[in-house]
Structure 1
Amino acid sequence: MISTGTPLLWSLFAAFVIIALLIDFFAMNRQGAHKVSMREAAIWSIIWVATSFVFVGLLWWWLGGMGDDPTARAVANDKALEFITGYVVEKALAVDNIFVFLMLFTYFAVPAEYQKRVLMLGILAALVLRAILILIGAWMIAQFHWILYVFGAFLVFTGIKMWWAAGQEPDLDNNPALNWLRRRVRISPDYDGERFFTRIDGHKVATPLLMVILLIGIIDVVFAVDSIPAIFAITTDPFIVLTSNVFAILGLRAMYFLLASLHERFHLLPYGLALVLVLIGTKMLLIDLYHIPVQWSLLATALILGATMVLSLRIPPKPGVSTGSAYPFSAKSSQRNRKDEPPR
């Protein structure tokens, strides 16, 4: 499988990610536990988006975008467009992650000042997981071309399933993953600061914060299974696949705090995401019959997401219908329920 990633490019990219995470951790530790304001979330969102476009600009220049060689310039243009398309698709699919994170935080009544650390750890787990799955996916595509049809069919199926599930309220009380964790982990009824473990009557037990971290890890696995085939429908270049994924994930925490208070305004967005998955899956299924240009995929994705966001603002949600992901309990009632429960 051909990749634009030379050893030097891979090394520079890895160094950038490590430095970015260290800066983020340093800033988080210096600020301490606090509620992230809309202004802070907006500033960090702009920083991450700007950084992503600076990266693709440097990559375009590195590949010969400003040179005299028309072949190198064409390659630079194609790779830059693939990165931007993949980045937009992954960023859009990350919106669904955000709705589910908000549902978990509400269900477990996670205090606002602790959510930042939980998301940061979740992002670290997602980065490692995505890197592993992307390398596995790239190897499978290189060895078995027919796996592209499996990915395409899976994306179409997932998109149809997402369309029918949009607006339905999930039942966390009967969630298999949550019930499996509850049977195996003793949980305290209350939080103990940002600690993952505490002691009750001399026994070491997990806090609800650890449960949230574990569930976010499970969510990362589920969403990676959807999003990674989607990016392989845009490009099979491992370097572009990984970098666009990583840049989309790095800005996930800031995007969460930016969109958390706006989820009800974009109640039709899950339908748009479902259409995007069907579109990308169809593109993958037609790969040997007709190659849909990347720019058309980018344009279609932008139009679908833009249209669903505009329609969400114009069409109010139906009474009793969940907006985006569901929030079965308010923070207040969820906290009260946990206090009434004995430690497990």
Structure 2
Amino acid sequence: MLHISVLTWVVTIGLIVTLLAVDLALAALRPHRVGFAEATAWSVFYVLVAVGFGVWFALAHGGDFGTEYFTGYLVEKSLSVDNLFVFVIIMTTFAVPEEHQHKVLTFGIVLALIMRAIFIVLGATLLSLFSFMFLLFGLLLIYTAVQLFRHRDEDPDVEDNVVVRGARRVLPVSDDHVGGKLFAKLEGRRVVTPLFIVLVAIGSVDLLFALDSIPAVFGITAEPYIVFTANAFALLGLRALYFLVKGLLDRLVYLSTGLALVLAFIGVKLVLHWAHVDIDESVPEIPTLVSLGVIVVVLAVVTVASLVKTRLDPSARAHSGSLRAHPPRADETDRDRARG
């Protein structure tokens, strides 16, 4: 059992809030197009912060807990790349100017952290009260993996999102971004800008991702502190990673397949843990170190295979994957024809 003092929780949350505040301040005070060099510097910084925290955590609480943190961080980081696909789709769909994308991403990450914190509290409480929740979480991940694999060559339809459609139906929306504002007054009438609808879209998508990512990291560890920090540090680097790799995302053609395999593996791990606890202790469990090895191998193979595929077939394009099938819109069909 991991014992984390109140002071450690306060300092950790304070560090995360400070990093978020810096991101928000930069986005608000100096809206600009984030270049490759700046994105690289921020990406390296956030990775170093996450690794530095992991090293401290392992030294302070032991190598086993340190391994759980790094495995959870790797799982969340790989799932966050799938977030980037959807972010790119949202930014493109709503034609968000590059100088405002920094702000949108930062607010999106804040929303994601808040929702994940809520899910972590609920998940930890349920797991502590009902051991069969490991079975339910495992089956949820296996179902998600199957759906993601079945629709791995599709992208989610952002415009068809029920929350986005509801917001458009209820709220008056301006035609332009009005200097990056969320709300504006035009001709004496209060309106929301497309940037507000973008935040609604990102928030609703973040909610769906939280439903997958939280059970996934609970498959690595049942310690709420590790679950929270793995999620937080993976998400903190998401804004910089978006600007760094958005031009390369199209090349990761097998990423959805790899993520489906990772989710299925963790789902099986959770089911075995439930069976070990509730049915028979002779049922084998998958050690965290083995999980780390499997995840690293899957992600490495997926990345290399994707790069080889796109080199041999330059017309191949990656998709974020979808949890349900939907007919392609006309603009998607025309774009795919143009690419072909």
With structure 1 as the length reference, what TM-score do the two structures score?
Answer: 0.87
Question: Does the CA contact (< 8 Å) of 2:164 and 2:200 recur in 1?
Answer: no
Match of 2:181 in 1: 195
Match of 2:43 in 1: 45
Distance in 2 between residues matched to 1:78 and 1:152, nearest whole Å: 22
Match of 1:21 in 2: 20
Question: Does the CA contact (< 8 Å) of 2:73 and 2:233 recur in 1?
Answer: yes
Match of 2:237 in 1: 251
Does 2:161 align with 1:155? no
Distance in 1 between residues matched to 2:32 and 2:243, nearest whole Å: 12
Alignment equivalent of 1:59, drawn from 57, 60, 64: 57
Query: Deviations for 1:127-152, whole angstroms, at most 9, x for unmatched residues?
Result: 11111110110000000000100000
Amino acid at match of 1:112: E
Map 1:315-330; keep pairs closer than 5 Å: 315-316=309-310, 323-325=318-320
Distance in 1 between residues matched to 2:272 and 2:14, nearest whole Å: 37
Distance in 2 between residues matched to 1:190 and 1:58, nearest whole Å: 47
Query: Deviations for 1:309-331, whole angstroms, at most 9, x for unmatched residues?
Result: 1111111397987522389759x
Amino acid at match of 1:313: L
The 1:186/1:160 distance shift into structure 2, 3 A limit, reads same
Match of 1:36 in 2: 34
Match of 1:11 in 2: 10
Question: Does the CA contact (< 8 Å) of 1:103 and 1:325 recur in 2?
Answer: no
List alignment gaps of at least 5 residues for structure 1.
64-75, 334-344
Distance in 2 between residues matched to 1:306 and 1:322, nearest whole Å: 19
Aligned to 2:180, what secondary structure does the other structure show? coil
Does 2:305 align with 1:311? yes
The 1:86/1:114 distance shift into structure 2, 3 A limit, reads same
Match of 2:279 in 1: none
Alignment equivalent of 1:296, drawn from 283, 290, 293: 290
The 1:183/1:25 distance shift into structure 2, 3 A limit, reads closer
Amino acid at match of 1:163: F
The worse-fitting range, judged by mean Cα deviation, of 195-204 and 117-126 is: 195-204
Distance in 2 between residues matched to 1:179 and 1:18, nearest whole Å: 32
Question: Does the CA contact (< 8 Å) of 2:58 and 2:64 recur in 1?
Answer: no
The 1:171/1:132 distance shift into structure 2, 3 A limit, reads closer
Amino acid at match of 2:47: V
- CA-based RMSD of the aligned residues comes to 2.0
The 1:169/1:92 distance shift into structure 2, 3 A limit, reads closer
Question: Does the CA contact (< 8 Å) of 1:189 and 1:207 recur in 2?
Answer: yes
Does 2:97 align with 1:117? no
Aligned residues: 317
Distance in 1 between residues matched to 2:174 and 2:126, nearest whole Å: 43
Distance in 1 between residues matched to 2:149 and 2:174, nearest whole Å: 37
Aligned to 1:4, what secondary structure does the other structure show? coil
Q: Percent identity?
A: 37
Distance in 2 between residues matched to 1:188 and 1:168, nearest whole Å: 30
Match of 2:280 in 1: none
Does 2:109 align with 1:101? no
Distance in 2 between residues matched to 1:29 and 1:179, nearest whole Å: 28
Does 2:217 align with 1:222? no
Match of 2:74 in 1: 88
List alignment gaps of at least 5 residues for structure 2.
277-282, 322-327, 336-340
Aligned to 1:134, what secondary structure does the other structure show? helix
The worse-fitting range, judged by mean Cα deviation, of 54-63 and 274-283 is: 54-63
The worse-fitting range, judged by mean Cα deviation, of 139-148 and 309-318 is: 309-318
The 1:174/1:60 distance shift into structure 2, 3 A limit, reads closer
Question: Does the CA contact (< 8 Å) of 1:168 and 1:321 recur in 2?
Answer: no
